[in-house]
Amino acid sequence: MNFEPDADTLAVVEQIRRFAEDVLKPNAREIDANGTFAARHIPALAELGAMGMNLPEAWGGPGLSPVALYLAVEALAAGCGSTVSMMTAHFLATDAILIGGDDAQRGRYLPDAAAGKTLGAFGLTEPAAGSNPADMTTRAIRNGGSYHLRGVKHFISNAAHADFIVVFAKTDTAAGARGISAFVVEPAKGGVRVGPPERTMGLRGGHVFEVEFDCRVGEEAMLGPEGSGFRTALKTLDNGRTEVAAMCTGMAGEALAMAVEWARTRRVGGHPIGEFQGLQWMLADMATELDAARLMGLRAASLREKGERFSKEASMAKLFASEKAGAIIDRALQIHGGYGYSQELPLERMARDVRIMRIYEGSSEIQRNIIARMLLA
């Protein structure tokens, strides 16, 4: 397998990498400390084409390949986890419209989203329905040419700032997952109440909210036919899980680079600590785990690029990368000693930011269920 992108793609990724280094990194600490929503970076991200880099050129995106998208998300995550979390949540919404919608819906929402003129949110999780979306209680009751949408969604990234939210609701309560449909809801039209941002351990600039819906939407707001919403959600989450893997390897790669540099320059007893075999073995394990995680993520992205099914590979990549990234960042912090625990360095923030990766877009336990189910099918 060859994951090396062409020269034009590498140039785009390098431009994004420089942006992460020059703009995101210097602001990441303040965003985390103050809990400032990372939307301040949207205009610059849009100028780079990053707000629509999951979209084809026909709908306003730059037409990056999935492998290039992986590398770009990875580069941004090395700069600021909150910013890339906000951006990839936006991708979930636009991916859902791209996958489940028709051309009229794509034309209405995607070009402005790619240009950074609008922001999207993805409303799947509920207070009592996270790991099993089929348990959702949000309902969409048909009434003539419209639907009355009622229910509560929870932990919805970007919701208070979103111009549109892709909301999943049951249109047939007796059909289980096959009774779930997807709708695009515009909060400005009313009937949407967003609570205050949740106080979270990490990703403090990537705000999440509880959202209550009691609104009417027209038939034109439905993505695809009734009952197709769950399939749209699963396909969207395959994409999203690959991007979570990229976020993890981006943050872990930054932590490893910091640990290597510290091992070269930090001296104990007159010797660089990198001369000690115990620490060398830590670095070797970290580098090996990171390389394996990246290869798994790039494999999933490559299969996506070929148009092949990649659900199992996306789950494997997300599972492995999220668990190994947490371990890599923790060991990088350990190598830095007390300095790593201090807020003067980004490692303690990264340790908090990466922890959610084992939970959202399907917990590690759910990924194991998915992988096992596909093996046994």
The 10 Å Cβ neighbour count of residue 282 is 18
30 token code pair: 């303040």
Give the DSSP per-residue string, 265-298. Answer: H-EETTEEGGGSHHHHHHHHHHHHHHHHHHHHHH
Q: What does the alpha-carbon distance between residue 74 and residue 10 come to, in Å, rounded to a whole number?
A: 13
CB of 164 closer than 8 Å to CB of 186: yes
CB of 198 closer than 8 Å to CB of 154: no
DSSP 8-class letter at 135:
G
Catalytic (active-site) positions: 361
User: Residue 281 carries which side chain, given as an amino acid letter?
Assistant: W
Q: What does the alpha-carbon distance between residue 149 and residue 218 come to, in Å, rounded to a whole number?
A: 10
Is the CA virtual torsion 315, 321, 324, 327 positive or negative?
Answer: negative
Q: What does the alpha-carbon distance between residue 83 and residue 6 come to, in Å, rounded to a whole number?
A: 27
Q: In the Cβ-directed half-sphere of 333, how many Cα atoms lie within 13 Å?
A: 20
By DSSP bridging, strand 120-123 and strand 164-170 are parallel
The crossing angle, in degrees rounded to 10, of helices 7-19 and 66-79 is 20
308 token code pair: 């092949």
96 token code pair: 């859902």
DSSP 8-class letter at 178:
G
Q: What three-state secondary structure class fits 147?
A: strand
